[in-house]
Structure formats: C-alpha cells, structure tokens
Structure 1
Amino acid sequence: MQYIDTHAHVFSHHAKFVPTSRYRPEYTASVEDYIEQLDKHGFNQGVLIQPSFLGTDNSCMLAALAAQPKRLKGVAVIDNKTDMATMQALDKQGIVGIRLNLFGLPCPDLTLPEWTGFLTRLADIHWQVELHAPSAYLVQLLPMLKLYALDVVIDHFGRFDENKGVADPDFQTLLTILDATQHWVKVSGYYRLGENIGIQNAKDAFKLLVQHGMQNRLIWGSDWPHTQNESDMSFDKALNAFKDIVNDEALYNQILTKNNAALFRF
C-alpha cells in the first residue's frame, strides 16, 4: 500500500525563531531523520507543515522539499499580502497550501480586503488552507471560506475544549457545518486534546465525524517530531494510537492511502 503521512515538521534549532513563539525546540528535526521514519514505518510520501515558531521563513522546509521532491510536499506560512508570482514560485518548489495557526492570536476577519484578495489568489493557484485553531474560531471561519473554491483542512480534530470533550458546544456546531465537498479533518495529534484524556476525546470525536459523513475526508499525519510532546510520543505510538482510534482496518487503510492521496494528489 502507498501510505502517506500528511503532517510532519522539519527545522533546525539554530534557526531564527519568531519573537512571539510559544515554543522553541532545542534540537534539530532533519529531513534525513524524517525520511528514516517514513521508511521504517512503510510510508512512501509525506507532507511537511511549516511550524509556527519559524513564522514565514519557510527556507528549512523548502530545502527539505528540494532534497526529496518525489516524496515530499509542503504547506507554508506566508503573509496575506504575498503576490501571485511569489506563490507560483513556491508552487514549483512543492508547496501545495498555507497554514493559519491561530492559537494565541485573535480570530481574523476574512471579509477584509487583504484577506479576500489573498483567498482569491489561493483558490486561483489551487492551494489548500489548513486551519490550526480552536473550534470556537473554526465555526466563525468556515462560513467565510465557503465563498472560495478551496480545500479547507481542519487540524487535530478541530481542537475542541479538552475538558468539555465532544460536548463542547463549538465542536457540536462545527459538526453541523462540516461539508464533505470542501472540508477535510486531520484525525491526528490526539495528545493535543488533553493529557491522559486525549485518546478518549479522539475516539469520541472520530465516531462523530464518521456519523456526520466525513469518512472519505478524514486524513492522518504523524505530527512528527511531536513538538512539545517529544518525551512521550514517537511515530510508532502515534500510528498505533491512530489504529486504536479508528478500530476498523479497512477505514484505517483508506485514510492512510486513498483519503490522504486524494487531498495531496501524490
């Protein structure tokens, strides 16, 4: 089977971190280390996601894509004023979308001119928009993104309130507005849904996502090297937990192969 990992990071601890970064790793996660993980676990391709602590400096990720162009694609972080020529150059280097990591930031108003122009350019170049945001933000943003012909990827189960679990009113609202013609949900990073309770929260959320008809739009990524959770996590543990969360071998294989490939077009 052609397994694909849709969420991993590469970086150097010598890089210049953004001043507002909430986390600064003291180690390097190299492309060679990542490829070793893919090979060890039988994965053919992977998608690199620009980590928030590097801001819009995508150079480390771009170097990784250049080193492994047949096996890797990337999701960048760029300014919303970025012009089409710059985006086209990134596209040729293997970038397939942008990420908005909104934790610690106010929820943006996507109806403002700087956003509408940017989102139009993203649609024109056929890039995806990945949202790493709490469910309270997602329920505001998804209706605004409905106006654009974009694939919208929701990170880490929609990051609902870990203490409320799937009863979180915002997550319940999110379920009702999910659209299987536009939205994708990354059923990964279960440990970001709460210490000790994350795995149960993930199982509960997964069942509801399937019940809401999203089984063909669920994707998985290892979240390697599991930033801020390095001491407790590994690619092995993430993959085994995912198998436990899905509890259905056919759907497990579908997500890792058909679903992941459909979005990232490997």
Structure 2
Amino acid sequence: MNYIDAHAHVFSHEANFLSTARYIPDYTASIEDYIRYLDLNGFSKGVLVQPSFYGTDNSCMLAAISNYPERLKGIAVLDNDTSISTLKHLDEQGIVGVRLNLFGLSCPNLNEPKWQQFLKNVATMGWQVEIHAPVDYLVKLLPLLTQYSIDIVIDHFGRFDNKLGVEDLNYGRFLEILDPSQHWVKVSAYYRLDNKLSIQNAVDAFELLKNHNMEDRLIWGSDWPHTQYESKMTFYKALSDFKKIVNNKTLMNKILTQNSAHLFNF
C-alpha cells in the first residue's frame, strides 16, 4: 500500500515551548516512532504539521523532514511578515504550506495589508493554507480567501461545536461556502468532535461533505500522536475508525492515496 498520512506531529518534551501554549506535552513524539507507525500501517508518505506549542519555531519539524526527505513534507507556522525569501528557503526544506491554528486566538483580519501581502507570497510559492479553527471563524475567513489562487485545507471536518454536532448553524453555512475548486477538508481526528469519542458526529459530517461534492477533496491524517487523547487513541485505531466512517473501500483508498497525492504533489 502507498497510503499518505496528511496530518501528524513530531516534538520533544525537552524543547522550549510557548509560554502562552494551551497545552504542553510531557513526552517526546520522535520521527523514528512516527516512521515506524507509517510502515506498520501501509503508509509510504506523511505530512508533518507544526504543533501550536512550538509557535513559529519550526526547527524540530524541519529536522525530521531532513531525515526522510523522500517520505515527508511539512506545514509550517509563520508570522505574517515572513519574507518571500524565507518562504523559498523553507520550500527547499520540504515545506508546502502554512498553518493558521486559531484556537484560543481572536479571528484575524485578513484584509489587513500585512496579511494580504503574506497570502500573495504564499500563493506565489504554490503553497497551501491550512486552517485549524472553530467553524464560526471559518465562515468569516473562507470568503476572504477566494481572491487568492491558493489551496485552502480545513482541519478535522471543520471543527463544529461538540454539543451541537452537524446541527451547528455555522456548520451549515460552512458547507454552503465549500468550493471543490479551492477547498480541501481533512476527515481526521473525529475524537475532537465528540467528548464521548463516538464516530457518529464524524459519520454525519462525512455524509454532508460528500453531498457537497467534496469526495475528490477529502484527505485523511492520523493526527499522531493524538495530543491530549494519547491514552484513548492509537494510529491503528484512528485508521480503523476512519474506515468505518467512510464505509466504502473504493472511496477510502481514494482519500488515502489519490486525493492526498494530488494536494501534496507526492
């Protein structure tokens, strides 16, 4: 199998974390362990995503990619005044996009000149913008990003309200905004959508995403090492439950191979 894992993290518990971090791990998630999980579960490629507690210090992720440059790519977290020369240098090191992790932060004003220039530079690089945000942020941000020729990747089904599920009114608005010519959705980390770790919210959301013509734009990530859910989740369980959510072998294989290969140019 040549599956692609579109979302995982590596880090060391001995690193310097942000003082404002919402969560700080007390263990190390090494690149060697991650590669082992890829191999055990039939994955040839993986995409590392910069975790929020590192801020804009992408060095741990870059070091991991440098050890396995044929197998890994990365999504960085950067300040919006990062120069295009820095973007080019990061591109040479395997970075293919920038992440906006907005949980715990105010919703940014993407109409500010600094943001506009940054997004133009990201578009020039051919990078993607990955957004991890509450769904009420997504309905504000996605319309502002239509002016850029850029792939927009939405984390974890769109992160609707845990209690409301897909009945969340803003989730309905989000689904109506989705455009298969620009947007991609990670059908990953279902356990972040329901405090009981039920797959039902994810099943409901998956069906709605299919109904909005997103089958070719769905990708999956393990979310390894499942921060804050380590005692309840494993790579194998995340993959097994994903297969139950999709409940269609052909579509499952498409999400794990063809869709991600297209987005990440593997």
Residues paired across the two proteins, number: 266
**Secondary structure of 1:213 counterpart:** coil
Corresponding residue for residue 65 of structure 1: 65
What TM-score does the superposition give when structure 1 sets the normalisation length? Answer: 0.99
Residues 170-189 of structure 1: matches in 2 within 5 Å?
Answer: 170-189=170-189
Q: Which residue number in structure 2 is paired with residue 167 of structure 1? A: 167
In 2: Cα distance, 1:250 partner to 1:56 partner = 38
Within-5 A mapping of 1:128-207? 128-196=128-196, 198-207=198-207
1:35 Cα deviation from its structure 2 partner: 0.3
Match of 2:222 in 1: 222
What residue number does 1:244 align with?
Answer: 244
* Equivalent position amino acid for 1:223 in 2: D
Q: Return the letter of the residue paired with 1:118.
A: F
- The 1-side partners of 2:212 and 2:162 are apart by 20
| Aligned equivalents of 1:83, 1:242: Cα separation in 2 | 38
| Alpha-carbon shift at residue 111 of structure 1 (Å) | 0.4
Query: After the TM superposition, which segments of 4 or more aligned residues of structure 1 sit over 2 Å from their partners?
Result: none
TM superposition shift of 1:218: 0.3
1:44 aligns with 2:48: no
Structure-2 separation of matches of 1:201 and 1:19: 33
Answer whether contact 1:8 1:48 (CA < 8 A) is retained.
yes
- d(CA) in 2 for partners of 1:62, 1:56: 12
1:213 alignment partner in structure 2: 213
2:156 partner letter: H
Q: Would you say 1:80 and 2:80 are equivalent positions? A: yes
* SS class of match (1:153): strand
Match of 2:122 in 1: 122
Q: 1:67 to 1:127 in 2, by over 3 A?
A: same
Contact 1:157 1:187 (C-alpha < 8 Å) held by counterparts: yes
Q: Would you say 1:112 and 2:107 are equivalent positions?
A: no
CA RMSD of superposed structures (Å): 0.6
Partner Cα distance (1:197, 1:103) in 2: 20
Which amino acid letter does the alignment assign opposite residue 188 of structure 2?
Answer: S
Q: Is the 8 A contact 1:4 1:43 kept in 2?
A: yes
Deviations 1:140-182 (A, max 9, x none): 0000000000100000000000111101000000000100000
Unpaired runs of 5+ residues, structure 1, are: none
After the TM superposition, which of the residue ranges 195-204 and 157-166 deviates more from structure 2?
195-204
Tell me the amino acid that sits aligned with residue 104 of structure 1.
Answer: G
Identity within the alignment, %: 63
State whether residues 3 and 42 of structure 2, in contact with CA within 8 Å, keep that contact through their aligned partners in structure 1.
Answer: yes
Q: Secondary structure at the match of 1:45?
A: strand
Query: Structure 2 length normalisation: TM-score?
Result: 0.99
For residues 11 and 92 of structure 1, the distance between their equivalents in structure 2, rounded to whole angstroms, comes to: 21
> How far apart, in 2, do the equivalents of 1:146 and 1:5 lie?
27
The answer to whether the Cα contact below 8 Å between 1:192 and 1:198 also exists between their aligned partners in 2 is: no
Contact persistence 1:162–1:198 (CA under 8 A): no
How much has 1:197 moved relative to structure 2?
5.3
| Native 8 Å contact 1:58 1:76 kept in 2 | yes
Instruction: Report how far residue 198 of structure 1 moved.
Output: 4.1
